[in-house]
Amino acid sequence: MFKIIKNFNWIILSSFTCIFLGILTFLTFINEGFVPLTEQNILILLSLDIILLLIFFYLIFKNFFRFYSAGKKNKSGSQTNIKYISLFSIFTLIPSLIVAFFSLVIFNFGLQKYFDDQITQAVNNSNDVAKNYLEEIKKNIKSDVILMSVGLNRASNFYYSNPNQFLRIVSAEKILRKVDDIYLIDSAGNILLSETGVTSSDLSFPGEETFDEALTGVPVIVPGNFENKTSAMIKLNSFVDTFLYISRDIDPSILKYLNETEKAVDFYYSVENSQTGIKLTFAIIYIIVVTLLLFLSTSVAITFARRLTKPIINLISASESISKGELDAKVPDIESDEEFKKLNQNFNNMITRLKRQQDKLLVTERYEAWESVARKLAHEIKNPLTPIQLSIDRLREKYSSKIGKDESQFNEYLQTINRQIKDIEKLVNEFSNFARMPRPIIKKIDLNKVINRSIDFLKVSLKSQVFFKQNKKSNLIMGDEDQLNRVFINIIKNADESIIEILSKKPKYMGKIDIDILKNNDYIVTVIKDNGEGISDTKKVMKPYFTTKKKGTGLGLPIVNKIINEHSGELVIKKDNGTKIEIWLPSI
């Protein structure tokens, strides 16, 4: 899942940018965002929404096109791949589109019901109640200021003759009318008397228009007062240039409710005026979210489909190669389910075994052909050797005494011919041995004992040191001890001869032959490694009659390989700072 997200980072980034811009547009429509609600700003935001939405869809379609193009390029199994991808995509697409359609319809229906006549009437009523409450407070304060002015006008004589008595009358009026602040002020803005718990700096003095209106003798609501107070003033006719100024505190909780009601009403009408833009913005946001989720779910479906079909496609490709005779084909190792991994592994093992069987069959056919050639050559060459040998003996008996002074030279010629006949006879015997190699007599043997027997036979004549790392446990196999002894003698001897070539150039060179036995599943692997000259061409040495030695017949390693093949094993020759030979034989 995280890998999918990483592959589509540009799509996800563009989708979140679209969502953020859509939310910003929505907040701007209801005048709750940091972008001012103007026609120009709305047009800019909507244009950006549409541009980003087009970019978003372009990236999505581009990736879908890449998916399908990649599926078509792979011809083997492409139809199956596209079929599964299409099915997964369709079954993911249809439910998402149905949900998206019903969600948009429900949202549109719900938003429309939000502006129902009854809800609008309730909002308007709540707004009217708030306004009527404020008006009622103003009416009450006007009534109180009139009643208080009547009482103070009657007690005007105490204002000058007995100020303390007048102050007690003011306090009594304050308690009786339940007002919080009482001031007597003049038109110049001077406070003549106050009955309040706050300082004069908390008084908001009326303006000239308010003073002028109060001069007519009617109570006047003082505008621009503190938000938590309602104030009124009236002219005291029994006083000289004196006005009664009173205020009453409004309950903070009521102010809070009034403010919240006002905000709710403003929000309601801002939403009602912008409902088309809000619907459009919501549709854009919803389409982006649904499309993003749809794309991610479809991408997961595609990934799952490819994960399901890719191993099958690989198997089809490998089987097509095998049907053409290309047995070196392998099913690539990919990240997939355990069942597919096991299937691929078994298929590759089957191909490997088939390749080995084919190679063994080809080797067997070659050996049969070489045996036939060797048998014919041995027969055709050996037949004239005896008459030639007899003719040489008669020539020596009949003419050696008659030649005279050239007798020694004559005998030397005859000896040369005799030596060549011996060499030819030796070569014929090698051909005969190769052609008439008996079938192995299979029985249970210990490979450790066979190798020790071969080393003991050769150690007197070897110029190199042999190090045999053998386990304490027996390495049992089914084989012919004599033929396997011949195998190890031939290989160890070849390794020693390779080291002798270096000794002819570097007399102090330390020749070494390492022999090790390893377990590998159902096989016992014998590794023979030397630090000699090494084999120049590891492929040609397995062919009969190919040799790099001056007096070699080129039949040693082919005979070794034939014996190993008849033991259901395998001979592997590698060049590794010398020569490294591995002999794989089935264990029991």
**DSSP one-letter code for 200:** G
- What is the pLDDT at residue 2? 47
**Is the same domain home to 449 and 413?**
no
33-83 pLDDT, tens digit per residue, is: 677 766 677 667 777 777 877 776 777 677 667 666 655 555 555 666 667
In the predicted model, what is the mean pLDDT of the chain?
A: 76
**Is the same domain home to 33 and 94?**
yes
**Is the same domain home to 432 and 446?**
no
Percentage with pLDDT > 70 across the chain: 67
- What is the pLDDT at residue 488? 93
Residue predicted with more confidence, 567 or 14: 567
Domain-embedded: residue 133: no
**Is the same domain home to 425 and 445?**
no
Q: Which of 189, 158, 190 is nearest to 171 (CA)?
A: 158
Q: How far apart are CA 445 and CA 481, in angstroms?
A: 7
Q: Which of 244, 217, 83, 77 is nearest to 152 (CA)?
A: 244
**Is the same domain home to 219 and 152?**
yes
Q: How far apart are CA 317 and CA 73, in angstroms?
A: 13
Residue predicted with more confidence, 31 or 312: 312
By residue range, what is the domain housing residue 366? 337-436
- What is the pLDDT at residue 199? 43
- What is the pLDDT at residue 259? 74
Place of tokens 């190090």: 467
Structural domains counted in the chain: 4
**Is the same domain home to 444 and 571?**
yes
Domain-embedded: residue 506: yes
**Is the same domain home to 514 and 549?**
yes
Tell me which of 259, 284, 301 is where a domain ends: 259
Q: How far apart are CA 438 and CA 443, in angstroms?
A: 15
Domain-embedded: residue 424: yes
Tell me which of 436, 460, 493 is where a domain ends: 436
> Which of 177-191, 257-271, 499-513, 518-532 is predicted with the least confidence, judged by mean pLDDT?
257-271
Tell me which of 409, 436, 463 is where a domain ends: 436
Q: How confident is the model at residue 98 (pLDDT cuts 50, 70, 90)?
A: confident
Mean pLDDT, to the nearest integer, of 197-219?
A: 75
Which residues, listed in sequence order, are joined to residue 488 by a DSSP beta bridge? none
> Which of 208-212, 227-231, 525-529 is predicted with the least confidence, judged by mean pLDDT?
227-231
331-354 pLDDT, tens digit per residue, is: 777 766 677 778 777 888 887 777
**Is the same domain home to 284 and 395?**
no
Domain-embedded: residue 103: yes
Residue predicted with more confidence, 582 or 291: 582
- What is the pLDDT at residue 200? 44
Contact 373, 430 (CB under 8 A): no
Domain-embedded: residue 376: yes
**Is the same domain home to 282 and 255?**
no
**Is the same domain home to 476 and 526?**
yes
**Is the same domain home to 449 and 578?**
yes
| Cβ atoms within 10 Å, residue 331 | 20
pTM: 0.42
Which residues, listed in sequence order, are joined to residue 477 by a DSSP beta bridge? 445, 587
**Is the same domain home to 455 and 425?**
no
Q: Is the pLDDT of residue 457 over 80?
A: yes
Domain-embedded: residue 49: yes
- DSSP letters, 357-424, are HHHHHHHHHHHHHHHHHHHHHHHHHHHHHHHHHHHHHHHHHHHHHHHGGGHHHHHHHHHHHHHHHHHH
Contact 218, 236 (CB under 8 A): no
